[in-house]
Amino acid sequence: MSSLHKSRIADFQDVLKEPSIALEKLRELSFSGIPCEGGLRCLCWKILLNYLPLERATWTSILAKQRELYSQFLREMIIQPGIAKANMGVSREDVTFEDHPLNPSPDSRWNTYFKDNEVLLQIDKDVRRLCPDISFFQRATEYPCLLILDPQNEFETLRKRVEQTTLKSQTVARNRSGVTNMSSPHKNSVPPSLDEYEVLPNGCEAHWEVVERILFIYAKLNPGIAYVQGMNEIVGPLYYTFATDPNSEWKEHAEADTFFCFTNLMAEIRDNFIKSLDDSQCGITYKMEKVYSTLKDKDVELYLKLQEQNIKPQFFAFRWLTLLLSQEFLLPDVIRIWDSLFADDNRFDFLLLVCCAMLILIREQLLEGDFTINMRLLQDYPITDVCQILQKAKELQDSK
């Protein structure tokens, strides 16, 4: 470890040991990258995402309160409905005119159950794809949720719901009577084979199952937005960072801490996921156009070239902005970018500058390329040095 890196660690430790954290100083340090040693990044992200307050003395009580609240969510939204489902249909009075599987009433337990299943199956499909270049999310967590895995609790877990619904969907698809075109739980896709649903032995949980649970609870608590594809790419790096914390006491509570940090982050970017807001000033279309207007101000020649080729920001910037660049770089590089995003006071204005910097850094290739070549460049970004990108974005910010 270099003396410079040791010095940076010491600077962070000095700021974080104060009874009241100096937020501006922490942001200044974090903007240039947060060391992962000693759990510094995990702690800094929790402060920067407004999960932990600036007063250190309150941390213990707030964490205990929030983690207990998350346990309550698990009981109310997974365990208790799972027990109710396990009991539904056991006696004839469970199936009545008031409540039965075909009851369309929004107050029907069955109707709620089926709607939740649609959301769950989409989440399930997406979380299994998280960071396919690393094995982390497929591995077993050291700290499986004991509330969920308690053998005394006989209820339908999310895992069982997915397996049973998938099995039923396959049965319908293979029905010899020819009923093969009924809607699959995975929209616009053939029902996956059961091989895709192989899971770890009882008593174990894969990290992706934890992420699935976080997203399911978020969807239940936020019915106005529920779950939108891509949220998995936002929660993934957060959970990975907290679940690899070297401090085992903090790592044990990665699920709850991730949930609340994700919820706070989504409060800032949720408009990107709401289609009805796309064309409003807070929507994703406005932000994509802002990338081009910034580019026009900083590099008019490149802007005109992209306009001439009719390369619209929707073709590439939609993914860049909505997913906070989580699909453009390897996970360690995404985490480094997020250090700067979370640290910046106007973090999503800075994201626009990062996107603009990405364009300018490949300007020569874009100016020489035709439409096909340039689209390939923008959809498979060639530069892997994210520090170079962040430095260019900071130059653009300072030149305003």
Show the domain range for 133. Answer: 59-92+103-163+200-273
pLDDT tens by residue, 46-70 = 999 999 999 999 999 999 999 999 9
Contacts of 70 (CB under 8 A, 6+ apart): 217, 255, 256, 259, 260
Higher pLDDT, 335 or 88: 335
The answer to whether the Cα torsion of 18, 22, 25, 30 is positive or negative is positive
Same domain, 295 and 155: no
Q: Return the pLDDT at 176.
A: 36
Distance CA 64, CA 247 (A): 16
pLDDT tens by residue, 132-155 = 889 999 999 999 988 888 766 666
Same domain, 254 and 357: no
Higher pLDDT, 90 or 114: 114
Same domain, 225 and 300: no
Same domain, 223 and 357: no
| 108 has pLDDT over 80 | no
| 327 has pLDDT over 90 | yes
Residue where a domain terminates, one of 214, 240, 273: 273
| One-letter identity of residue 273 | F
Distance CA 354, CA 241 (A): 22
Closest by alpha carbon to 320, among 360, 344, 361, 288? 288
What CATH number is attached to the domain comprising 322? 1.10.472.80
380: number of CA atoms within 13 Å, CB side?
3
What does DSSP assign to residue 133?
Answer: T
Confidence of residue 82 (pLDDT cuts 50, 70, 90): low
| 199 has pLDDT over 60 | no
Percent of all residues in the chain with a pLDDT value above 70, rounded to a whole number: 81
| Cβ pair 350, 344 in contact under 8 A | yes
Higher pLDDT, 296 or 105: 296
Same domain, 307 and 236: no
pLDDT tens by residue, 161-178 = 787 766 554 443 444 333
pLDDT tens by residue, 305-322 = 999 999 999 999 999 999
| Cβ pair 202, 247 in contact under 8 A | no
Distance CA 157, CA 250 (A): 25
